[in-house]
Structure 1
């Protein structure tokens, strides 16, 4: 899954000053307001007064100070409405709907108050001298503007948070494994709850009576899930006892009893007091991703069933020629290993491993007398035997499923030869699909290294000599070099799956 920014990822939010920008006005007015606001606080935050007079100064302040709560815009009688152009610049050019704009106008503009309020996107209209001699009235009016800015930003932040939860909930659908999904969930929860990067968290899952850890961070990485009690409440009590760094003794937890599947527990340390809104977001996110966990579990179950069916189909073909089910298992493992060594992505290598067991599925249409003949086949019998490649392709080609489409290619081309002269199409070089070239090496290697009804297994030195001799003739030279270079890994697979029936 691609990395994308988290909420408050760089730094946890800190309380700062309220930024107030005075546009216009003289230096005396600025000093007077600075003196008036000295020591004044709203919600434990003091005031920071900024001043800009020229257009260049105004643009610079608006560009560099991204958290301006209030703009006090002076409207002089002598300058006309020129100052009001800054309203459009702020709202439209900068797309800043949050800042509260207060117009402080000369008394000459008193009659135009309604017109200005209707024609410009400002929040308050005041006349100069309105607060003379009454600092409390000015501060009360300022508090109203600051509250408006605070509430607007809160709503805006909540919307962004909802968008983030929706985005992160949808992106976890791309997770390829339960562990990857659980890691993403912890990372996103830490962002929603605004915890420190070092804060701990974990995702546990219980299959049957045993807990296992899907993901962990902080000190919980060291936790041994086998040591956890069986009951959920006992697990939570244990985690809370060790939750020393959290400002909230309970931390944040989400329990999924999952009636139809495994039980899950998500636990995250809370290093600062989350708001009710953050708790709501975290719980909503967990509820959304809970369905993803269930779907991923179901997908893995379907894939396991599909894999078993594919191996069974491959075994049917092999047992008709008195070969073992481990032949298809070994070929699957060989093709995956060679695909990875060649540089194919893990997902594509897995696809090849799933599809390759059906390489000889066309043998179901060949009679036993030919398949199990101990002696040399006649030309007519050999021609019939070669038909299994085309027959297997015809069986599989109609499916639109990636596994069966891949299996169709392999069934058709795994007997083609890199230097030409193979069957059924007589292809050569890279005309042969990479999947066919990979499976050809895997299939021949296992055939030579195994006892068959018509022969005994070859000694390994003779097998190696044949592959060297057939490099660039029967087999793709690059793949042959990779196979021989990593022969010990192929022999490990061969030793792991000895000839006995398993499916």
Structure 2
């Protein structure tokens, strides 16, 4: 029997019109030029899912491997068994799966000498998808074969993209959870959206112009923006978003809603009348149901987390405001008004950063520093505001404010208040061990207390008080150099004056009223 392929008469091929649709790649690996030509002729007008075919050609097993290495998205490989060697095709099939790690391409072995490679043996021992004798591949059967292979390849790729998409959602969610501050989290959502969907060239492209907004007590404000919206923070989101997308915002029903419009993609999660999270991405488009499903899934989960962090941020802001109010009440009792607490907080933050503490720890010290003198609330006015020097008995009462502040705060389970308790207790300790209340020495004194002590004294010396005028910076520096290693941590004193310009700037940014 001849190996020649015979097809019914067909109309002469015509040139296929150019198309923007990405074609399916078919790789023909065969040392017979005529097999290449006949295969192309038989499949010349073939389409699947409205996508045509494009053919790649290799004439040996090695050429086939090289071609697949350069084109990992080949859908079907029509592979001859006997080429440069009697088992070149088998070696190539094995290399595709083992060396190239390509489990997606559908491999069809074709042979004109079936006795040399029995079908039962080949199917059992090699990871191929079909085995055909060249004589049985008429035009009709070749079409059936390619339909079957492409359908299988399409479904496998869809499953893999779904897996990759879910992995990207998990990875993005993990990255987002590392962002504990609302603005960082909101911006992270916008940046991750374009990474969630398939990055392949035939998936989707979108300019990363987006808005993340949160509504609290009836005001929908932009928390973060990217691209053209990067400078819109704190603006009214309703005024920024295109009119065709506002229908979702006007819908007061609770739950998750989304809409794809010509202007872009908008989604919103409303949990109550006062709490709403919103995302808008200009010109965002999805190509298929899988991408749309991944986008919906990510945004729904991200907005739920966005609300949780928003509410936590509001709670933390309320906690910080209470801390300032408590500290400010003490300052007013001792007739020290103005921005002393704000300056001490900011100086403590910068100093904490300069000495190598993490941003999170530095921020915690900044927020707890206003509580350093909370214990003075228990000191009688006659002592607290006495214009003359305190006698020995009065001084003992005054010193007790450190322990009183600690006792007021340390039993709380809130990290901010616990840190405030440590600062209240330690900020009057001295590096040489002569301070109070416990006479701690050196590193025995908590770093937060050491930092706040320097910030408090530095600001007090630089500021006007009822009993003194502000000192000039030369006098302040002389005092700190004198107390370096006695009252204050010497390394922190060095950092204070290495970066003196930054601390002077804080003084200038928060001046006391005249």
TM-score (norm: length of structure 1): 0.77
- 2:508 is aligned with 1:492: yes
2:188 aligned to 172, 184, 197, which one? 184
Match of 1:242 in 2: none
Match of 1:427 in 2: 441
- 2:477 is aligned with 1:467: yes
Q: In structure 2, how many angstroms separate the alpha carbons of the residues matched to 1:320 and 1:232?
A: 53
- 2:51 is aligned with 1:44: yes
Q: What SS does the aligned partner of 2:511 have?
A: helix
Cα offset, 1:353, TM superposition: 1.0
Match of 2:15 in 1: none
Match of 1:8 in 2: none
Match of 1:135 in 2: 139
Q: In structure 2, how many angstroms separate the alpha carbons of the residues matched to 1:409 and 1:15?
A: 67
Cα offset, 1:274, TM superposition: 3.0
Alignment of 1:380-399 (within 5 A): 381-383=394-396, 385-389=398-402, 392-393=405-406
Cα offset, 1:151, TM superposition: 1.8
**Structure with larger RCO (C-alpha < 8 A, sep 6+):** 1
- 2:467 is aligned with 1:456: yes
1:478 aligned to 478, 494, 498, which one? 494
CA distance 1:400–1:226, shift in 2 (3 Å): closer
TM-score (norm: length of structure 2): 0.75
- 2:211 is aligned with 1:202: yes
Cα deviation digits, residues 468-491 of structure 1 (max 9, x gap): 232225444323315643454233
Segments of 5+ residues of structure 2 without an aligned counterpart are 1-19, 198-202, 250-259
Q: What SS does the aligned partner of 1:284 have?
A: helix
Match of 1:296 in 2: 309
Select between 337-346 and 163-172 the one with higher mean Cα deviation: 337-346
Q: In structure 1, how many angstroms separate the alpha carbons of the residues matched to 2:59 and 2:414?
A: 66
CA distance 1:329–1:270, shift in 2 (3 Å): closer
Once superposed, what is the RMSD of the aligned Cα atoms?
4.2
- 2:148 is aligned with 1:144: yes
Cα deviation digits, residues 351-374 of structure 1 (max 9, x gap): 111111222345466666654554
Segments of 5+ residues of structure 1 without an aligned counterpart are 1-13, 240-246
- 2:137 is aligned with 1:124: no
Q: In structure 2, how many angstroms separate the alpha carbons of the residues matched to 1:219 and 1:483?
A: 36
Cα offset, 1:288, TM superposition: 0.6
CA distance 1:340–1:382, shift in 2 (3 Å): same
Alignment of 1:331-370 (within 5 A): 331-340=344-353, 346-363=359-376, 370=383
Cα deviation digits, residues 130-175 of structure 1 (max 9, x gap): 12xx333323312321221122112211221122223323432233
Q: In structure 1, how many angstroms separate the alpha carbons of the residues matched to 2:503 and 2:262?
A: 56
Cα offset, 1:340, TM superposition: 4.9
Paired residue total: 472
Cα deviation digits, residues 42-89 of structure 1 (max 9, x gap): 4333322231525x4444334332112122233349977674354444
CA distance 1:89–1:388, shift in 2 (3 Å): farther
